[in-house]
Structure 1
Amino acid sequence: MDTGDTRRDIIAQAHRRCADMGLHHDGPPARAALPEAGLARLMERNGAWCRLAAPLMEALYAQIAESRHMVVLTDADGVVLHALGDPAWLGSAAPEAMRPGTAWSEASMGANAIGTALASKAPVQVHGEEHFLRAHRSLSSAAAPIFDAEGQVIGALDVAGAQCAGGHPHTMALVRMTAQEIENRLFAQACGNAAMVQFHACAELVGTAAGGCAAFSPGGRVLYVNRGGVSQCGMPLPRLRAHTLVSLLGLDPAALAPGAADGPLALVLPDGRRLHGRVVRRSGAWPGGEGGQAGGGTGGAGRSAPAGARPAGGLRALDTGDRQLAQAIAAVGKVLGRGIPIMILGETGTGKEWLAQAIHHDGQRAAGPLVVVNCAAIPESLIESELFGYEDGAFTGARKKGAVGRIAQAHGGTLFLDEIGDMPPGLQARLLRVLQERSVTPLGGGRAVPVDIDLVCATHRSLRGLIAEGGFREDLYYRLNGLVVKLPPLRERGDLRAVVARVLAGLPGGGRCAVSDEVMRLFESHRWPGNLRQLHSVLRTAVALSGADEACEPEISLCHLPSDFLEEDAPRGPAPGPHCAGSLETEALEVIRRALERCGGNVSAAAKALGISRNTIYRKMAGAPALP
């Protein structure tokens, strides 16, 4: 965990490595980016897991979008694959340094969050003077390595900002949580349809992103164990793979068989420690993960649902009582099946993709695929090949036998182009031609492929403003906006209580949670810059920290909310009174006490459950009254 002495030790070791490599504090950073052909090959090698990570990366950015930070994704060598945010926030040298293809390894950039997280295989925050090169001491970053199902480092996730904007401990928590969710999706993808056992020392954290999970063969042999499972079991992955279901968890293989009884399990590790668990029989979905399908989720760079796949509900399911939303839903319902393109406007995180899924669900093409393309999440160098596909040999590094583009994949179904306002101008002409001719020509190929699709687009930007600036084609605009609907931001919706209840119902353990009146008043006065995505993140953290026994109904109170959420400006209501700090401290102590009780007094287990360090627990409890 990136706290206290551990973090200082990691940074000190990084400085020693830099000195051993002959780097100097005043030396220049190596900011030369890979050439286009080299970057294309790198993106091809990392494309599958990057597409899986894209929606989570975007959800993370939505939570920090107004805090002058960037979110960066790199490969295992620290080479930037994708970056979200305005590089100008990081200083004059940042636009070049954050370009895709730029390496942030320690050998290239000295001690920094990305390179040091990869070298140490541990999450780390690096602030200002802690950077080895003076050129980077205006920065503050938090990074976490990303491991695949085999336990190998495949990349890193980083949040970077100016030194004056960084350093909040919650930033590190967000990065670690997002990296863990990426790993869980990679784990789910690798496991296929294998039966899994989820487990944790604390019952309410079974099935959450922080929990352990192991996949087993039908005979009970260990196939994979996620990082949470490695931590819970306290032994390295190679040793875990030598175990069976019986020797590792004390569970009979018959428990994995179809038709076996479901319900909570009492598990026993080889060292005698007891865990709570449950068996999960699955068909491609990560239990408890946001977004459902492995590799799916809101805001992905590009993906498709198989023919016949349906979201949980149609347009009617989205109507939870808000007047503005109800009007938008009614308008959409009147044009379904008429071949009219639909343009969805709204701030980031307002649920534009949910509406697109509902449109597909209720439309005449519901039995066909729904293909989602986020035009802002695909690097400009690759978006053309992603959309239109390519033939064998179309460019250096192209896959043999070529690749079918996203537009062709949507044939017979619905194509959803999210953040259409971020489509490069050069590709807008090609898209216009596709819509006019109802056919698509892959890169490097002369044969046009007919496509029959319904089209839904979305953006948070003003397309008319972009047209005036020359950034968006006016003729394409009029092709796309057959019907324009606008989704209200969360702060303007009149159905907040219903939305909170629905989000809670979709979270592991959330259906049992109540929200205190004090928290609901805060929610109603909050400005919600990240909208529904931010609400989901806040409630997910609050449910994990609510800390109630399974026998009673947990209540989410102020102490369970992320600290940066409490610090955000809430202009629509009065600020909390002077009693707030004291009451929060009291509630925090109570949460720690309950966690210690649930974990049998095991401070390490309680710290993991709460996502804090053991030192924090010792410090908080030092002056507190004794446990009853």
Structure 2
Amino acid sequence: MTASKPREARGLRASPPVASAMDSTNLIHQSHRRSLDYGITAHAEPDFSSPSRGLLNDALDENRFLFQHAAPVMETLYDQIVNTHSMVLLTSARGMVLHSLGDTDFLEKASRVALTPGMDWSEENKGTNAIGTALTEEEALTVHGNQHFMNANKVLTCSCAPIFDPYGQVIGALDVTGDHRSFHQHTLALVRMSAQMIENHMFADIFPKAIRIHFHTRSEFLGTLVEGIAVFSPEGRFISANRSAQFQIGLPFAALKAHTFSSLFGIPVSALSELFTGTTPNPKQLCLHNGVSVWARVKLKAQNAWMAHPQDVQPPPTPANAQPAPLKQTGKRMQLSSLQYLDTGDPQVSSVIHKLRRVSGRDIPVMILGETGTGKDLLAQAIHGDSSRSGQPFVSVNCASIPDNLIESELFGYEEGAFTGARKKGSIGKILQANGGTLFLDEIGDMPKHLQARLLRVLQERKVNPLGSTKEMEVDVAVISATHKNVKDMIARGDFREDLYYRLNGLVVRLPALRERTDFQLVVQKILKSLCENGQRVAISLTVMDLLRRYHWPGNFRQLHNLLRTAVVMAGCEGEILMEHLPDDFLEEIEHGYNAHLPPNVLEAIAHSHATATPTAVPSTPDPDGHRLQDVALSAMANMLRLHKGNVSAAAKALGVSRNTIYRKRDQLPPDVLG
């Protein structure tokens, strides 16, 4: 790949760089010229030669930190594009595909153009394409159909954003590729936001002894995708800052290196400990060197707590008509029963909880069955929380999200030098991390067959043998597993070991799908209560509740929570959720698929909502912390408009979007932000 211009030389940007329509055309044109220089011909056949497994393993190990933070975001992003003939890809900084998630019907087409893990999609190898060109230019862009240099790739539409590490260097790229006929104008925005989400999450892990300050001009944007994050040494020396921080401070990354905490925030770093202690639940206001006032909270790693938000660790709210949850003794303190909190009145759920209480404390393995989104992970945490091991680690492993060639080292650990690219001090692995506590094997049905025997041996002998080690280490874990698959059918097909199944299924419980539950209204009210703060309440109209009851909820609780979160934002706390507050795609699915089952008043309400709705809605996506990309996008637009005093052109330029994008959302934005 050709050397790209240093990040500092490209100027200051408020968010991941994105090319405008004209800039994009120029970038594509320049990329085509580079492709010719590389000697690539448009009619060349895709290179199907598979790299050696060792090369891919080396790349995965080299990019372990990137994958660790990207994998959950990829799953969230894929949830939003599922069934759109598309796939999500993560690549290295050199353009090698590391991991992919895709629709089954598109995977075959992807394999025909060599769009699979291990393949090189740099410009030098594939000519103009979103991955290679985005990495070369360090710009987020879409390459659609005929814009690809090679004819074989013109059946694709690809949107890609580079991912920068906390030191300002390109570490990889996130891409959504699909059939060129399924192009959607909002895909690039989703990819850009997801890439920024990955970048922000990296800050939490890469500076273990640093002081991390989170800030924004508006306090409600703290904890969202658009907050600024700046990192300083304990002595106050500047270490790093994300893009939103650079924009708010008004200095590019290179210039910030010459600053300290005191020169940027006007107070000595020693004042932070006193300033951000105490019982006040509110963030503190600080003044930046450029005179801009911001709200801030500080993470002091040594204290391992958010200093400005002690209320963040309060117990979950109790449903209004639920019985008080029983208390259980844990050492010197009492705490709410986690299992009781999940019991909201459905007979099937109550039966599950009753069975789990009977085996609590006996270290009987539990297998949780249920559709995706039914809350299997929450139930596993509740089982751990009510057990005698609650003070010990709860370690979750998603067997479906870790590549086959990484899951062995992730589970069992490895010694120094066990393979090329291994960490200098090795890794103890998830099983040993859970020693004394609970190991949750989520999506156990996706565990590779060759590792099932190793797991069985660990469960039988209670000993772990890390890769590259001749020593066995004793381990004491309670095991909970979960899957949405029919394991007995997998056993019959030879895809799952029968002996492992019987080792895991000491007690098998099944969580009902949301559409099967009798406590739907209470669940809705409970979610709504959690979405509003400070005791505020939001009502829900009878028509909307009737509609929600009739829907089949293929995404179960995750889908319901996301939909209600959007509705609360649209209606505002202390308001009432009406039909026009529901997402357009949800209403369209209801209208087209369920007309025969809807009463006239519901159909009339849907028709009215279409008449008053905005033309296009940004697809909704929750991030790993529970935020939604739709909410984040609207918040970012509103914030930039306030910063630029209603100037749409300036706000659009700062966000890297067109003015029309903001105009299309004007009815969803606060009235005070538009000039």
TM-score range (shorter-chain normalised) is 0.7 to 0.9
Contact 1:146–1:156 (CA under 8 A) maintained in structure 2: yes
Q: Could you tell me which residue of structure 2 aligns to residue 19 of structure 1?
A: 36
**Is 1:185 aligned to residue 201 of structure 2?**
yes
Pick from 447, 450, 453: which aligns with 1:423? Answer: 447
1:203-218, aligned counterparts within 5 Å? Answer: 203-218=219-234
Q: Could you tell me which residue of structure 1 aligns to residue 163 of structure 2?
A: 146
| Mapped partners of 2:21, 2:290: distance in 1 | 29
Contact 2:299–2:307 (CA under 8 A) maintained in structure 1: no
Contact 1:219–1:253 (CA under 8 A) maintained in structure 2: yes
1:471-620, aligned counterparts within 5 Å? Answer: 471-496=495-520, 498-499=522-523, 514=538, 517=541, 523-538=548-563, 546=570, 564-569=585-590, 571=594, 573=598, 577-585=606-614, 598-599=642-643, 600-603=645-648, 607=652, 613-618=658-663
Contact 1:62–1:534 (CA under 8 A) maintained in structure 2: no
Q: Could you tell me which residue of structure 2 aligns to residue 298 of structure 1?
A: none
Q: Could you tell me which residue of structure 1 aligns to residue 382 of structure 2?
A: 358
Q: CA deviation at 1:193?
A: 5.6
Q: Could you tell me which residue of structure 1 aligns to residue 148 of structure 2?
A: 131
**Is 1:71 aligned to residue 56 of structure 2?**
no
Q: After superposition, what is the alpha-carbon deviation per residue over 1:94-146, rounded to whole angstroms, capped at 9, x for unaligned? A: 27724321122222222222222222323223322222221112222322222
Q: After superposition, what is the alpha-carbon deviation per residue over 1:349-378, rounded to whole angstroms, capped at 9, x for unaligned? A: 322111111111111222322222211122
Q: CA deviation at 1:208?
A: 0.7
- Relative distance call for 1:594 and 1:85 in structure 2 (3 A) is closer
| Mapped partners of 2:299, 2:426: distance in 1 | 35
Q: CA deviation at 1:422?
A: 0.9
Q: CA deviation at 1:555?
A: 6.8
Q: CA deviation at 1:174?
A: 2.9
| Mapped partners of 2:357, 2:394: distance in 1 | 18
1:191-590, aligned counterparts within 5 Å? Answer: 191-192=207-208, 194-218=210-234, 220-245=236-261, 247-249=263-265, 253=269, 256-260=272-276, 263-264=282-283, 269-270=288-289, 274-283=292-301, 314-399=338-423, 402-496=426-520, 498-499=522-523, 514=538, 517=541, 523-538=548-563, 546=570, 564-569=585-590, 571=594, 573=598, 577-585=606-614
Contact 1:62–1:348 (CA under 8 A) maintained in structure 2: no
Contact 1:78–1:114 (CA under 8 A) maintained in structure 2: yes
- The amino acid of 2:369's aligned partner reads L
SS at match of 2:196: helix
Contact 1:391–1:444 (CA under 8 A) maintained in structure 2: yes
Q: CA deviation at 1:608?
A: 8.8
**Is 1:115 aligned to residue 132 of structure 2?**
yes
Q: After superposition, what is the alpha-carbon deviation per residue over 1:473-500, rounded to whole angstroms, capped at 9, x for unaligned? A: 2222222112111223334444455545
- Relative distance call for 1:618 and 1:585 in structure 2 (3 A) is closer
Q: CA deviation at 1:586?
A: 9.6
- The amino acid of 1:280's aligned partner reads V
| Mapped partners of 2:534, 2:160: distance in 1 | 29
| Mapped partners of 1:4, 1:98: distance in 2 | 26
Q: Could you tell me which residue of structure 1 aligns to residue 7 of structure 2?
A: none
- Relative distance call for 1:137 and 1:457 in structure 2 (3 A) is same
Q: After superposition, what is the alpha-carbon deviation per residue over 1:484-521, rounded to whole angstroms, capped at 9, x for unaligned? A: 11223334444455545655666797975736537666
Contact 2:297–2:306 (CA under 8 A) maintained in structure 1: no
Q: Could you tell me which residue of structure 2 aligns to residue 299 of structure 1?
A: none
Q: CA deviation at 1:419?
A: 1.0
Q: Could you tell me which residue of structure 1 aligns to residue 620 of structure 2?
A: none
Q: CA deviation at 1:535?
A: 4.3
- The amino acid of 1:214's aligned partner reads A
- The amino acid of 2:198's aligned partner reads I
Contact 2:249–2:290 (CA under 8 A) maintained in structure 1: no
- Relative distance call for 1:286 and 1:604 in structure 2 (3 A) is farther
SS at match of 1:27: coil
Using the TM superposition, name which of 436-445 and 505-514 deviates more: 505-514
Q: CA deviation at 1:245?
A: 4.1
| Mapped partners of 2:48, 2:308: distance in 1 | 40
- Relative distance call for 1:610 and 1:74 in structure 2 (3 A) is closer
| Mapped partners of 1:534, 1:26: distance in 2 | 44
SS at match of 1:484: strand
Contact 1:375–1:417 (CA under 8 A) maintained in structure 2: yes
SS at match of 1:73: strand
Contact 2:367–2:482 (CA under 8 A) maintained in structure 1: yes
Q: Could you tell me which residue of structure 1 aligns to residue 75 of structure 2?
A: 58
- Relative distance call for 1:16 and 1:610 in structure 2 (3 A) is closer
Q: Could you tell me which residue of structure 1 aligns to residue 627 of structure 2?
A: none
| Mapped partners of 2:532, 2:36: distance in 1 | 47
Using the TM superposition, name which of 532-541 and 222-231 deviates more: 532-541
Q: After superposition, what is the alpha-carbon deviation per residue over 1:412-446, rounded to whole angstroms, capped at 9, x for unaligned? A: 22111111111112222222222223323333444
Aligned residues between the structures = 602
Using the TM superposition, name which of 249-258 and 466-475 deviates more: 249-258
- Relative distance call for 1:585 and 1:316 in structure 2 (3 A) is same
For structure 1, the residue ranges without an aligned partner over 5 or more in a row are 294-307
- Relative distance call for 1:510 and 1:60 in structure 2 (3 A) is farther
Q: CA deviation at 1:285?
A: 7.0
SS at match of 1:471: coil
Q: CA deviation at 1:583?
A: 1.1
| Mapped partners of 2:294, 2:48: distance in 1 | 49
Q: Could you tell me which residue of structure 2 aligns to residue 47 of structure 1?
A: 64
Q: CA deviation at 1:22?
A: 3.0
| Mapped partners of 1:127, 1:434: distance in 2 | 49
- The amino acid of 1:121's aligned partner reads E
SS at match of 2:606: coil
Q: Could you tell me which residue of structure 1 aligns to residue 326 of structure 2?
A: none
Q: CA deviation at 1:400?
A: 5.1
| Mapped partners of 2:192, 2:20: distance in 1 | 13
Q: After superposition, what is the alpha-carbon deviation per residue over 1:246-290, rounded to whole angstroms, capped at 9, x for unaligned? A: 543556656623354753555555555x4542223344579999x
Q: Could you tell me which residue of structure 2 aligns to residue 301 of structure 1?
A: none
| Mapped partners of 1:520, 1:607: distance in 2 | 37
Contact 1:211–1:229 (CA under 8 A) maintained in structure 2: yes
